[in-house]
Chains A and B, each alone.
Chain A
Amino acid sequence: MPQGPYSDKVMDHFMNPRNMGEIEDANAVGEVGNPACGDVMRLYMKIENGVIVDAKFKTFGCGAAIASSSMTTELIKGKTVDEALKLSNEAVAEALGGLPPAKQHCSVLAEDAVKAALEDYKKKQGA
């Protein structure tokens, strides 16, 4: 059911978010916030042999932010770290059937969360 400017896919992921929650033994955690609207996205990943075997999120934000987080976890699951690093905000928005122009920044937030989590992973690997 489309609602206002949101696509069916956005509404689906908003109403039935995939992979919502935390990963207890995550080895990659990234949290980003958007000062423009106060949204906060935290992404958890479990990475084994360079492959993202599990991903979960917690998000404080609007419908687009929640849908972007949910879609992002689906897109990165099973991907290698290098593949996930290439995930663009456009790809997230496209997978959601598009976002209203004023909400594009929510997909940017998702891309940033992935990058932040993978940076955390690399830091932990290095240590």
Chain B
Amino acid sequence: MKRIYFDHAATTPLDPRVLETMMPYLTEQFGNPSSILIEEGGIPHRAVGEARAHVAALIGASPDEIVFTASATESNNLAVKGLALANRQKGNRILFSDIEHYSITNQADFLTGMGFEIDYIRVDTNGLINLDDLRKKASEGTILACIMYANLEIGTIQPLKEAALILKERGIILHSDGAGACGTIPVYVNDLGIDTMTLSSHQFYGPKGIAALYIRKGVRLKPIIQGGYQEMGYRPGTENVPAIVGFGETSRLAMEEMGTRLEHLKTLSGRLWTGIDASIDFLHFTGHPTQRLPGHVSFWIEFVEGESLLMWLNLNGIASSSGSACASNLMAIDETGLKASHVLTAIGVPPEICHGSIAFSLGKNSTMEEVELVLSILPGIVTKLREMSPLYSKFKETQKGGM
């Protein structure tokens, strides 16, 4: 069966043009970029430099503000722990928005154990951070705030610029997890006024195992692993040259093609959105209706459980993702790992209802034909699952009784 991949929020396929640029560094150009005085090292060294320039250009930064890491999770850890440790003398309060990724939120225990105090910034029902709450919580002794740029579960894009202004006048550092945004939508760090930002290569057609942290010049940050002098000492360890080269190329392509990709994604997701809205009742879209990632359509459906819906879509050749508790952590060692998504509960979706949540995330290679196919398949699955649901039959009875 030909697959329809509508799960680009999880990861994207590697662009063949990107792979091509990586190949020499997986084969003949194997040298260590630190061995700069020998030919074997010189070529990879230059390639890393060029890639750094492409990644920097993608977000309007300068190359010496880019540090390569092995994952967005690592970048988020380097940022939060590194900034916290380097700025300790200024205070011990750290703010996380309520809808951060686990690679931010799960640092809370560690940081609390080190004497830091974590507070949370509320979001509204569309997933936008509450700026008044930010003003209130950005109090004396606060050194850092973490606000992601785009949320991959509900698609909402945060008003980072406004948040940055509030934080700047109080001398608070702003870290933004840009894994879901960079390479997909235009991101200009200087215009936004952020201090550090995470970028992830595999979120936009680059290889996995490579990410970056943008660190604005002058921002104090301590490395969290110790070793040699690679990445200006911020991130020691021999560079993953082929992945870095691929990250560079995918950044270059993203810049070059961003306009066309955005237009394409907006057309497709617009059709998907209106089609779903017209064909399924008791359906609720999640995230902000306009301030959202192009190509991202997320919703929950009453009387339909998310994992079952996801599995049926999959059996029909459609890949999607679900924020349902049951689908979120299927490999957990026991049921305590099953929790409704903290993002959905933060925007006010009742936990027992979070189970019906689904996100379709389209990519540059998605087609209108695929969108139409999904629109023709989804309603049938919803009907089938509702027929099985005791909640739905009860609801129908009360409807009848009420009329």
Contact = CB atoms under 8 A, between A and B. Distances in A.
B330 interface: yes
Interface string A18-45: 0010100000000100001111111000
A36 B334 CA distance: 11
A127 interface: no
Contacts of B355: 37-38, 62
Given A36-B335, A37-B355, A61-B305, A103 B388 contact: no
A63 B311 contact: yes
Contacts of B401: none
B402 interface: no
Interface residues of B, number: 33
Given A37-B325, A38-B325, A101 B332 contact: yes
B326 A61 contact: yes
B345 interface: no
A74 B340 CA distance: 31
B351 interface: yes
Given A62-B308, A63-B311, A105 B393 contact: no
A60 B388 contact: yes
A14 B388 contact: no
Chain A interface size, under 10 / 10 to 19 / 20 to 34 / 35 or more:
20 to 34
A121 to B, nearest CB: 18
B36 interface: no
A66 interface: yes
B351 A38 contact: yes
B331 A100 contact: yes
Given A38-B325, A61-B326, A66 B388 contact: yes
B351 A58 contact: no
Contacts of B24: none
Contacts of A62: 305, 307-308, 324, 326-327, 355
Interface in B355-403: 355, 387-393
Contact of B314 (A3, A22, A31, A36): A3
Nearest to B326: A62
A77 B3 CA distance: 39
Contact of A102 (B324, B331, B352, B388): B331
Interface of B: 303, 305, 307-308, 311, 314-315, 324-327, 329-335, 337-338, 340, 351-355, 387-393
Ranked 5 nearest A-B pairs via Cβ: A38-B352, A62-B326, A62-B307, A42-B390, A58-B390
14 contacts: A3-B314, A4-B330, A14-B308, A36-B335, A36-B338, A37-B338, A37-B355, A40-B390, A61-B305, A61-B326, A62-B308, A62-B327, A102-B331, A102-B335
